[in-house]
Amino acid sequence: MARALSLGIVLFATWMLLSGEFSIEHGLVLGLGIGSVILVVLIAVRMDVVDHEGHPVHLTRRFIGYWIWLLVEIVKASIDVTKRIWSPSLPISPTMYILKVSQPGELGQVIYAISITLTPGTVTVRLDGGNILVHAIAREAGEDLAGGEMDRRVTRLEASGITVTESVK
């Protein structure tokens, strides 16, 4: 029930931000938004997708810090890729890497794979059985990933949300 309520709050906040209708004077529009959110939450509960992976509210506290760190990494990687494109002296050496993941659950592995793809110059090609195949635009980008800082941060992020019911699976 708590996850369904949390999902409803997140959906309604998203709807409010995207619609731009903040006044009570737009009662019909506001009512349609609330109705839509209730309908979506009821459907999600009926489909049994409001779980720790479908709506991972248990990660919220540490996720903010992780996003700040990831945004800094995205900016640094964007600058690196831009320099490589504009400067012919910097090498572009496409490389494939296989990285071992240390996240115990699928949610952490997916967050790690998506984080790699969000970082310019690297793309997750395949996530399979505890390994991630990554394409990097330059060896340095792949070596940074192989250093494991992103892997450690995602592992800490996922570990912050493990509960007794999740570890029983």
Residues in the chain: 169
* Residue 79 scores a pLDDT above 50: yes
Looking from the CA of 103 toward its CB, the CA atoms found within 13 Å total: 29
Mean pLDDT of 52-58: 59
pTM of the model: 0.68
Helix 60-86 with 106-118: angle, nearest 10 deg? 30
* Residue 62 scores a pLDDT above 80: no
* Residue 33 scores a pLDDT above 80: yes
Mean pLDDT of 40-61: 72
**For 91, phi and psi rounded to 5 degrees?**
-75, 145
Residue whose pair of structure tokens reads 């340095």 in the numeric block: 140
Residue 108, Cβ neighbours under 10 Å: how many?
Answer: 23
Residue whose pair of structure tokens reads 């709050």 in the numeric block: 9
Residue 168 pLDDT: 37
Q: What are 45's two structure tokens? A: 């509960």
Picking from 11-20, 52-61, 79-88, 100-109, which range would have the lowest pLDDT averaged per residue?
Answer: 52-61
